[in-house]
Amino acid sequence: MEFISRNAYIVTACKGKNFCMAAYDAFCFILANIGQIAAVNWVSAYLMFLGKAFVCAGTAAVCWFIIAADSDLANPWVLVILCLLIGFVIASVFLGVFENAISTILVCFCWEKDAKGNFSNGQVYATDDLNKFIEGAAAAKQALDEKASAPDGVTEVQPTGAEKPPETPAS
C-alpha cells in the first residue's frame, strides 16, 4: 500500500488528479510496467543501501579521527555510535528525496513510452533522443517477438526491394 500511495502522490503531482483516481492510475500503471518497476526498484534499493552505508561509515570515521586527536575521552565509542546514528538519519532523509526523484522519473518515462508521443493535447514531453531510444527499444522488442514466434530452425528472409540483381558483364 505504501508503494501504491507513493506512486499515487506522484500521479497527483504530475497530472493533478485527486488521490483516489491517482491511486487507481498508479495501480494500473504498476501492473502494466511491472518488469521495469521491479528492476528499477531493486537497483535503487541497492543504491540507497550503499549510500546510507557510505554516509554512516564516513561519519563514523571522521568522528573517530577527531576523537583520536583528543585523548581526554574515557569511552569514545559512545560518541562514535551517536555520530553514526545521526549520519544514518541525515542520509535517510536526503536519500529519501533521491528515491522519490528516481520513482518520478521512472513514472514519467513509462508514461512517455506507453503514449509514444501521442498525448491528447498533442504535446510531446520527451526529448528527441529519448523518443529515439523508446522507438529503438520498441523495434528491438518487436524483432525479438517475431523471432520467438518463428518455428525452430526456420529463419524468415524477406527481400528489401531496393536491391537489384547483379549485372553480368557483356562479352
| 124-150 confidence digits (pLDDT tens) | 566 777 767 777 777 777 787 777 776
Q: What is the pLDDT of residues 26-61, one digit of tens each?
A: 888 888 888 888 998 899 999 999 999 999 999 999
Tell which phi-psi region holds residue 116, choosing left (phi > 0), alpha (psi between -120 and 50) or beta.
left
Query: Is the CB of residue 7 less than 8 Å from the CB of residue 29?
Result: yes
| pLDDT average, residue stretch 70-77 | 77
Domain boundaries, the chain: 1-32, 44-116+126-132
Confidence of residue 4 (pLDDT cuts 50, 70, 90): confident
CB 52 within 8 A of CB 95: yes
